Structure 1
């Protein structure tokens, strides 16, 4: 694992910010979420968006895919990378080289101690939970967790066993996310409850329309890992244009100098961003890139 520091994230504004067009520096990096943002609802990338991404990199603007997806689910965009080919996955817990077979080049793990503490705290405040453990090379489920299709090699056991630390098999891989699912709760209420109950041990967010919490190590978010990548490249937040649609994008959108919510975004995302663009079905990201160029 590559040791990292955690630069401070900007607090999210409570109301939309007015753009200062005259003072804004030229963009050097575009950071875009995938599901509900760059991808259409059928999980494809439109020809217009492919052309816009290529044009941005031809103009010297780096493009980072910044997603909650694990590395193994990045096939949806692997054919559309240019230049550097890096993606920030698992809500900031992994940086992946898409040009090298989706090789994980940086990990910011959730420790077993914190993960177990989160499980115990959540079970105390709400019954009916089930958990899954996302490691760098695969996901593992409790028996009653609604598992994702197309994930071969998963194992099934109580979460305490799934969080075992060992030098053998998948137990030797770092944990990048803990997932908690509730069958009936309101998703936003579940997020607030989880954050209050166990926020001292981890970062909580959500990107699913169901009551599914995505839980990462302390200080790990799309924003903090993007900040590290930008720091290494000498890129300031004011030179970053970011796109997103769900609560797991909030920190990144608040950190970036210019942010765009998709027209289909969660209300909290619409509140915090500098601008709004068209929906993911209407090539909203491509439209903004075309205007930037």
Structure 2
């Protein structure tokens, strides 16, 4: 990872003539500080953007139930994109699911079998629209003590086809492989059954329906509002942000970003702990 702590190290995106209409920002490692807080400076910048008529969308790998860290900072529309694009939720309604782009159970099961063969020792968790469940060997979710513990095959089974809750995403963990090596292996293994990414510093992969990403769901939300990619400013730090940063007309890699994110973004800002998102928003508003 690279880092940048001085605002003078920020690299502005190329100047354009299009006035931003929407800001799309990742949370962990981007908008949130490492202690998972939102700084007063960032809160003020988000509110100022909304007052200026610029919508703010939180676009995260987090599930809806883990959005309490920013739920007070969603303004008019109330919407957030969760689970790497697999869910659109209304935070004004307590995280109610507005849209789910599911991973078909047969595809999830095929991915499980393929990864078990390609990377022995892989353990899985299954994120359903109703909550998370995981295998005995998977690192436990301390925030979800009520989860069912069983093999992924059992967790994905349905009594009657089509009767189960939608699979929002599949998570795969390996205790020995490096994060990037595991991601490369999984992408080569899953063919076109699923989209695979990662946002954790550990070898933890996030697997969604094929074609589902932060970028594709953000594009849908923007199209519904008549907002073009050129009118979007995006922020991110990890591989699950790459497609979104490449899609947006203007994008910023955080000072703490993964090298792939730096390569995909059109600009760079300072690290999350130094309020890198707020630094750029302030600059945007000053130019209006």
The TM-score by the shorter chain falls in which range? over 0.9
Return the TM-score normalized by structure 1.
0.91
Kindly report which structure 2 residues correspond to 1:234-273, keeping only aligned pairs within 5 A, or say none: 234-273=226-265
Change (3 A) 1:257 1:102: same
**What's the counterpart of residue 219 of structure 1?**
211
**What's the counterpart of residue 66 of structure 2?**
73
**What's the counterpart of residue 284 of structure 2?**
292
Please state whether the residue corresponding to 2:67 is helix, strand or coil: helix
Change (3 A) 1:233 1:203: same
**What's the counterpart of residue 38 of structure 1?**
31
Does the aligned pair in 1 maintain the 2:250–2:266 contact within 8 Å?
Answer: yes
Alpha-carbon offset, residue 38 of structure 1: 0.1
Change (3 A) 1:260 1:18: closer
**Considering only aligned residues, what root-mean-square deviation do their CA atoms show, in Å?**
1.5
Deviation string, structure 1 residues 84-123 (Cα, Å, up to 9, x no partner): 1100000000000000011000000000010011011111
How many pairs does the alignment contain?
A: 274
**What's the counterpart of residue 190 of structure 1?**
182
**What's the counterpart of residue 276 of structure 1?**
268
Alpha-carbon offset, residue 166 of structure 1: 4.2
Deviation string, structure 1 residues 39-97 (Cα, Å, up to 9, x no partner): 00000000000000000000000000000000000000011111111000000000000
Kindly report which structure 2 residues correspond to 1:77-92, keeping only aligned pairs within 5 A, or say none: 77-92=70-85
Please state whether the residue corresponding to 1:172 is helix, strand or coil: coil
Change (3 A) 1:285 1:18: closer
* CA–CA separation in structure 2 for the residues paired with 1:73 and 1:199: 30
Alpha-carbon offset, residue 172 of structure 1: 2.6
User: Which of residues 117, 123, 127 is equivalent to 1:130?
Assistant: 123
Change (3 A) 1:85 1:167: farther
Does the aligned pair in 1 maintain the 2:24–2:235 contact within 8 Å?
Answer: yes
Does the aligned pair in 2 maintain the 1:134–1:177 contact within 8 Å?
Answer: yes
* CA–CA separation in structure 1 for the residues paired with 2:121 and 2:275: 39
Alpha-carbon offset, residue 20 of structure 1: 4.4
Please state whether the residue corresponding to 1:51 is helix, strand or coil: helix
Q: Which runs of 5+ in 2 are unaligned?
A: 1-10
Please state whether the residue corresponding to 1:76 is helix, strand or coil: coil
Does the aligned pair in 2 maintain the 1:138–1:153 contact within 8 Å?
Answer: no
Does the aligned pair in 2 maintain the 1:24–1:238 contact within 8 Å?
Answer: no
Please state whether the residue corresponding to 1:254 is helix, strand or coil: helix
Change (3 A) 1:220 1:125: same
Change (3 A) 1:288 1:18: closer
Return the TM-score normalized by structure 2.
0.92
* CA–CA separation in structure 1 for the residues paired with 2:12 and 2:277: 20
Please state whether the residue corresponding to 2:212 is helix, strand or coil: coil
